[in-house]
Structure formats: C-alpha cells, structure tokens
Amino acid sequence: MSRNMDSEIFRIIDDMDAYIGGCKPKLLSSTEIIVDRQKMEDFLRDLRRKAPEEIEKYRKIIKRSEEIIEDSKVKAQALIDEATARTDELLSQNEIMQRAYRRADAVVAMAQEEAQSLVDNAMFQHNSITDQTNEYMEGVMVYLEGLIDAISKSTAQQYEGLMSTLKEYGDRIRADHSQLHPEEPSAAQPAEEPAEYLDDDIEGES
C-alpha cells in the first residue's frame, strides 16, 4: 500500500503497530499477546473518525484534476480560435494567397498539436491521482478489516482460555475443600456455595 500521500490514517496505524509491537506476550504462547482493550478501541475510534475526512480530501483532489482538464480544453479551444482568426486574416490578402494557405495550415496544425498535448497531460495527471487515491483507500479498508478480524479472534481466544483456567481452579478448590471434612458430607455441602457464586460473578463480569 502506497504511503506517498500525507495521511493521518497511516499515522494512527503506525501508532497502533508500535503499541502492538510493545505488548507483552500471553503466558505460554508464542503467537498471542495481551492488549489493553480500551487502547485498541481508542485507535479504532480515531480511524473511524479520520477515514471520512481523508476520503473527502481525495475527492477534492480528483475534482481539482477534473477542473484542470476542463481548463485545458478551454485553453486549447482558444488557441484553435486564434489560429483560425489568423488564418482568415492571411487568406484575405490576395497577393499572398498561396503562401497564406501554407502558413495557415502550419499554424492550425501547431495549435491543434499543442492543444492535444495540454489535454493529454491533464488527463494523465487526473488518471494518476485517481489511481493513487483508489489504491490508497483500498489498502486502508483491507488493512482495517484484517486488523478488526484479528483483534476479535484474539479477544475470543483469551476469554475462552480465562474461563477454562478459572473453572479448573474452581474444581481444584472444591476438591480440596471436600477433603477437609470427609466424614461430614452434610456439613460440607453448604461450603460449596461461595465457589458457585464465584462462577456467577465471573460470568457476570465477562
């Protein structure tokens, strides 16, 4: 994705890359990291805010290039009109009629060539700016889609791992607790309620 254009979106993306690069890895994992959810939401909020501004910016650039093309066409027509007027003036002189025809043809041909050059150059600039703008916006959208999918997947995996670990700890605590009173099953039953409340609290917080 080209970064030739000055872009606030790329600044935010660079900040996000730097932040992710500095995050600590998840315990016992070589591919997952621990991120601050609020920090990532701030990055995404900034991207959503800046994207419409940059789209409008490059729409104005395209509009300006179209104005340049229209201006070039006007200038080209003015050159042709001037050449035609000069030709008419030359043709009005009978004593140099033949020479006037030759000169008139040369002037018109030169004017048409210059006019076409102006139009071609303006069209090339317009197409170049349009292609760069489309490439830029396509790259930004693809990057954001991939980033959001990766963050969503990582968050879901971290949540599932946390719940699995807490359940395992809860099972161990209940097993250890029941061993404290192996001959009093009726008295041990109420003691398991705090662990159930712990599970309910964990599910509520998630």
For 45-55, how does the pLDDT look when each residue is reduced to its tens digit (9 = 90+)?
988 888 888 78
Most confident of 108-122, 152-166, 186-200: 108-122
The domain locations on the chain are 8-205
d(CA 120, CA 86): 25
Closest of 12, 50, 38 to residue 151, by C-alpha: 38
- Give the model confidence (pLDDT) of 171-194 as tens digits: 888 887 777 766 555 544 554 554
Within the chain, residue ranges assigned H as helices are: 8-21, 37-91, 97-180, 185-188, 193-205
Kindly give the interhelix angle for 97-180 and 8-21, rounded to the nearest 10 degrees.
30
Work out the number of other CB atoms within 10 angstroms of the CB of residue 14.
Answer: 12
Return the percentage of the chain with pLDDT > 70, whole number: 81
Largest interatomic CA distance in the chain: 135
- Which DSSP state fits 1? -
Question: In this predicted structure, which of 8-17, 104-113, 124-133, 138-147 has the lowest mean pLDDT?
Answer: 138-147
Say which residues have a Cβ less than 8 Å from residue 205's Cβ, sequence separation at least 6.
Answer: none
Question: In this predicted structure, which of 44-48, 121-125, 166-170 has the lowest mean pLDDT?
Answer: 166-170
**pLDDT of residue 195 exceeding 50:** no
d(CA 111, CA 114): 5
Say which residues have a Cβ less than 8 Å from residue 25's Cβ, sequence separation at least 6.
Answer: 32, 33, 34
